[in-house]
Amino acid sequence: MTRDEVDAWIARYERAWRSPGTEALRELFTEDATYFVSPYKDPVVGLEQIAAMWERERQGPDEVFEMTSEVFAVEGDRAVARVEVHYGASGRPEYRDIWLLRFEGGRCAHFEEWAFWPDKPYTAPR
């Protein structure tokens, strides 16, 4: 993967999130992809389960948000990107997210996100 290819994949991811249905996921993820919504949660495994998770998590194609991203590193089939999401009037918070990605044939086989929200603790309580 090149930096431009990872940038293009992230743009397709955003378009898919904003589109009705989940058919576009087939172009983004391998059939048996793993999708970690948090590094300490069990992964969502496979296209069917990822599609079900997307339908639960998103508000739909009219969801108001702005997403920006920056690819930090690409080495072979692996990439790291920082993504920022700012929601509109929905009352949902903004957040910054680090994505760890591994690709197979241009589609993501491993997706892991490390999300952080403003004014939330980033250390474990003692």
In 58-70, which positions are buried (b, 16+ CB within 10 angstroms) versus exposed (e)?
eeeeeeebebebe
> pLDDT band at 60, cuts 50/70/90?
confident
Whether residue 75 lies inside any domain: the answer is yes
Tell whether 58 is covered by a domain: yes
Residue 124 falls inside a structural domain: no
pLDDT confidence band for 39 (50 / 70 / 90): confident
Judge residue 75's burial from the number of C-beta atoms within 10 Å of its C-beta, 0-12 exposed, 13-18 middle, 19 or more buried.
exposed
Give percent above pLDDT 90 in the chain.
66
Structural domain of 77: 3-116
Residue 59 lies in a domain: yes
| CATH code of the domain containing 42 | 3.10.450.50
Is the pTM higher than 0.85?
A: yes
Instruction: Report yes or no on 80 lying in a domain.
Output: yes
Tens digit of each residue's pLDDT (9 = 90 or more) over 71-98: 999 999 999 999 998 887 656 678 889 9
Judge whether 33 lies within some domain. Answer: yes
> Looking at the 3D structure of the chain, how many domains does it have?
1
User: Which burial class, exposed, middle or buried, applies to 46 when counting CB atoms under 10 A from its CB (0-12, 13-18, 19+)?
Assistant: middle
Burial of 54 from C-beta contacts in 10 A (0-12 / 13-18 / 19+): middle
